[in-house]
Amino acid sequence: MSHLIEIENIGRQIKGRPGETLFDSLNRHGYKLRVGCKNGVCEICEVSLLQGEIVQRYPVKHLTLDQSLNVEESVLACTCQPLSDVRVKIEGLKCPGELSVKKLLCDIASIEKLNSDVFRVRLTLPATASLAAEYYAGQYLDLILPDGKQASFSIGSAPEQGRNLELHIRHMPDSDMSNSIINHLQTEKTVEVEIAKGDCYLQVQNIKPETRLIMAAASTGFAQVKSVVEHLLANQFSNPIHIYWGARVEEDMYLHNLPLQWLSEHTNVHFEAVVSEPENSLGWKGRTGLLPAAIIEDFDNFDDVEIFTSGSPAMVYALLDACEEKGFSEERMHSDVFAYAPRNK
């Protein structure tokens, strides 16, 4: 008979198979916990049993805990087999899809100026397997300077590019921090990063077949959109992808030819560039106005639409409000803004 394993500290349940160790059950369901020797000697995989019956191969143990006793016993996941439904507490357990955050020293491969104030920075992650880093399309990293100060930047490359990372960094001359970052990247060979961060990410296998995607970026928020779109295209994603890039002036769209290339090579990609100050963009013949207004104008309804958006809190919430007026549901909008600048309701 199968049994239930309730993981109390994260509020989840999984099914275990007869004769299966606690570790094997967790691993089969995509959970990751620290483990060493896998024979009970190192005790790295120690967990707390709160309720249920188990037998442990080594060190030999046979325990039955009743919930009413309100006690817990340490057992080892790698040699412990549940004999009934059990309730456990596991510290440091990583849920399926959850990635480790690591501090790593990256090589600075190149830094180039894309317009008057935006730099494209290319970094190379370490090659050593023990220092390998994973990230999802749409996540960000922190650059850490030698004095310990750090700043966050969206990863502009897709995970399919392996060790090669891309960042789009706007230089603000009036900011000491911005000056320090650009100076370090231009003069040093390496930089420390903390990767990967952020809950606003996308995995192509999790998108429903009927879903239409809107990617809305303002200014250097395009880096996050670029990562997501390149991940989708690398995986032959065929659903409609509507990309909107809003900027104050035309020059702020520093990689304007890239989405045009996507547009020409993929029939499911649609692209709109929107300039909010056309009077300061001489010769601009494209779309004008604000980004939320452009999206609202183009969509009669938001059935089966998921929106990924990157920009200022003001822009993101203006887009959310405008879409909600046409029946859009907030849980289908994804943005880092919701985490670092939550709106009081």
Q: Find how far residue 262's CA is from the centre of its chain.
A: 22
Cβ atoms within 10 Å of 256's Cβ, excluding its own:
17
Does domain 102-197 fall into CATH 2.40.30.10? yes
pLDDT of residue 220: 96
Q: Which fold has domain 3-89?
A: Ubiquitin-like (UB roll) (3.10.20)
Spatial distance between the Cα atoms of 200 and 81, rounded to a whole number of angstroms: 37
Between 3.40.50.80, 3.30.830.10, 3.40.50.1220, 3.30.1180.20, what CATH number should domain 204-340 receive?
Answer: 3.40.50.80
Q: What is the pLDDT of residue 12?
A: 87
pLDDT of residue 222: 97
- Please report, for the chain, the start and end positions of each structural domain, with discontinuous segments joined by +: 3-89, 102-197, 204-340
Burial of 342 (0-12, 13-18, 19+ CB in 10 A): exposed
Alpha helices in 84-221 (DSSP H): 176-187
Whole-number pLDDT of residue 67: 79
Q: What is the pLDDT along the chain (345 residues), one digit of tens a residue?
A: 789 999 998 888 999 999 999 999 998 888 888 888 889 998 889 999 999 999 999 999 999 999 788 899 999 999 999 999 999 999 888 887 777 889 999 999 999 999 999 999 999 999 876 567 889 999 999 999 999 999 999 999 999 999 999 999 999 999 999 999 999 999 999 999 999 898 899 889 889 999 999 999 999 999 999 999 999 999 999 999 999 999 999 999 999 999 999 999 999 999 999 999 999 998 899 999 999 999 999 999 999 999 999 999 999 999 999 999 999 999 999 999 998 888 865
Question: What is d(CA 270, CA 256) in angstroms, rounded to the nearest whole number?
Answer: 13
Query: What is residue 322's predicted lDDT score, i.e. its pLDDT?
Result: 96
pLDDT at 279: 95
Contact indicator for 245, 274 with CB cutoff of 8 Å: yes
Answering whether pTM is above 0.75, one says yes
The answer to whether the CB of 87 falls within 8 A of the CB of 67 is yes
